[in-house]
Structure 1
Amino acid sequence: MASPKITLHHLNASRSNRIFWALEELGLEYDVRVYSRLPSLRAPPQLAEVSPFGKAPALTIDSSTISESAYIIHRLLALPSPNRAAVEATPSDDSVYWAAFAEGSLMNLMQAELTVAATAKAWERGMEAVFRPQTKVNLEQVEQYLASRPGHYFSGSTTPGIADFMMFFPAW
């Protein structure tokens, strides 16, 4: 079976950085199409021609384009790859949990913090009172968890898994 043709549609300062890591770890060949944010920090309209939501990351595998980081990583981990043994074979419960945490808890707070920081200074009090303390608690939990695991991977094993790829962006 021939290797699939893979193209990563990368937007600067986006979650697609975690897809680079997964592709490299798996040893898959891929092309990259880079999109630059507009002065408004929004994605350029050309990205909407690739992804129905006009967001990155988007990944084209042969003629099918998919989006959403976790789903992209899920699909990549299912592909035959030269370095398959270098990543978690079957996601552990820990790996699935931390993958969900990356977007469901940590990124929500980080996005909210960025949004509040970009608005009026009056919101600074809300960020100090709510977002930063909760982000600090979340990051302390992350550090505790990693410190107690061999290899310091979210997957709980000595190889990276879906959670490690998902946590890459918020931890980066």
Structure 2
Amino acid sequence: MLAIPAAALTRKPERLSFEEASVVGVSFITGWLGAIEAAQLAKGENIAVFGVSGGVGGAVAQIAHAVGARVIGVDRVRPADDTPAASIIEEFVALDSGPQDIGSTIRRLTAGNGVEVVYDDRVEAFEGAGPLMLALHRPPGRLRPRVGPVVHVAVRRLSRRWTP
């Protein structure tokens, strides 16, 4: 048996099936572990969320907003108007504009400083993302000393091992 405080529960939105609702928490756990536990995102910091229109990216945007960070969303398409991410990102940068344009746009949006945290759960979808992520960081790039080297995990390939 599992005891959960009533305040931690909420009703399933009618528009979601039980299957869809059962995985909502996964995106938030993933987002929390990356943005808060690993990156130690804090109030007043800037975060560039790559894949902001997706499940994990949208969750990261909501988590970042909740802790008081400034959220810059990056994706191929802007989050749909009826999603929580759409209402909380402060800026949106189109992913198809290319690495140089993305970097210069984010630098411009942060008065030349860059961001403290870059969150990208879809690295394999964008060639050259590693150097771009390092270029976007506000010096000295605090993720490297606190977390160690960047580790890229091909989640889709990994998850196939457990998918029937």
> Which bin holds the TM-score, normalised by the shorter protein?
under 0.3
Greater RCO, 1 or 2 (C-alpha within 8 Å, sep 6+):
1
Superposition TM-score, scaled by structure 1 size: 0.25
Superposition TM-score, scaled by structure 2 size: 0.26
